[in-house]
Amino acid sequence: MTILYFCVGLVFLIIGANCLIRGASRIASFFGITPLVIGLTIVAFGTSAPELAVSAKAALSGVTDLAVGNVVGSNIFNILFILGSSALIAPLIVHYQIIRQEIPILIGLNTLLFAFIIDEALTMPEALLLLTLLASYTIFLIWQSKKESTQAQDMYAKELAIRSPVKKDSSLWMSIFLVVAGLFLLVLGSDWFVNASIAIAKAIGVSDIVIGLTIVAAGTSMPEVATSIIAALKGERDIAVGNVIGSNIFNILGCLGVIGILAPSGIQVPPSVVNFDLWVMLAVSLACIPIFVSGRQIARWEGGLFIFYYCAYVTYLVLASKEHDALPTYSATMLSFVLPLTIVTLMVMMLGKSSKDSG
């Protein structure tokens, strides 16, 4: 039964993501809202519903390690694995708004979150502030899209050569139905997928914190995986990128904000998360800057680099949880060779792009 739930859940995720992309694109076309903003709001928030549901349930049950691990792990997974996989399918064009606005916001929120939980706790006032920021951010995006939608659509057509295949006369109610049906299938499929994944993980003896950072994080991010990959295949590359960045913003503001209020005794953050995983989440966000700025796209090789680092991160977590003898050697290799080589490569890439632009 566990394997059956796992497979059926995955099928529901794929079907639900397809419905959500179709409905969201039609709504964007109907109201004249840019697909990028739809990706940053409706699609991103909707596909983050499993993270919110799982984290809220864990918080109410007093299992705050799982709740926090789910959010942090999902944000790392979203950028490294989802953007990496999508870029391998088709190089992703990064819209100017992502570079100018969303990436700085995401980095700022990562820094704010770090300041909040450096004492290994998230208080209710801090959680309320996160929810207030979420409401303000959403209102700002809607206002911005209404003000600049025509200009943005023209820029898409001119600079990115992307035109929505959705007809303007598409039925609004059918579009709403597709979004609702897609979200329903995403949530149901994700629930089955995660429960089956947890059962499998426990059967092989993986610790709770590793389950939260990997199995649960990846499982609840399956809607983002399906949505972004299908968007990339359909040519909606702005939705593919916007979905990931918007989901990360929602995870910090929405998920942590809600569970910070629901947790009976507040959120206690494991020291390992504060000392390691939060730094990884911040570093991953910062790594987007040179990759996104260089050529304003995520090339296939950069997508492969993202996936490599996610595999390296998961390997570290597994080795650390098992206190494996290979952990010191593995860590030393990553810190002294792989990371410096990557940094040099990114710097050379940026300098090369700057020289080309100036020439």
CA distance 213 to 203: 17
Of 37 and 244, the structure prediction assigns the larger pLDDT to: 244
247-251: average pLDDT: 88
Q: Return the pLDDT at 130.
A: 93
User: The whole model's pTM is what?
Assistant: 0.78
What's the rounded mean pLDDT across residues 159-170? 42
By the 8 A CB rule, do 239 and 24 touch?
yes
The pLDDT of residue 163 is: 41
In sequence order, what are the residues at sequence separation of 6 or more whose Cβ sits closer than 8 angstroms to the Cβ of residue 30? 168, 170, 172, 175
pLDDT bin (cut points 50, 70, 90) of residue 128 is very high
Q: What is the mean pLDDT of the chain?
A: 76
pLDDT band at 162 (very low <50, low <70, confident <90, very high): very low
Per-residue pLDDT reduced to its tens digit, 258-280: 888 887 677 888 888 888 888 88
Distance (Å, rounded) from C-alpha 152 to C-alpha 37? 10
Residue 155: CB atoms within 10 Å? 15
Residue 124 has pLDDT above 80, yes or no: yes
Please write the tens of the pLDDT for every residue from 282-315: 888 887 776 666 666 777 888 888 888 888 888 8
Crossing angle of helices 222-234/2-31, nearest 10°? 50
Domains of the chain: 2-303 (1.20.1420.30)
Rg of the Cα trace of the chain? 20
More confident residue, 266 or 73: 73
Decide if 211 contacts 66 (C-beta within 8 A): yes
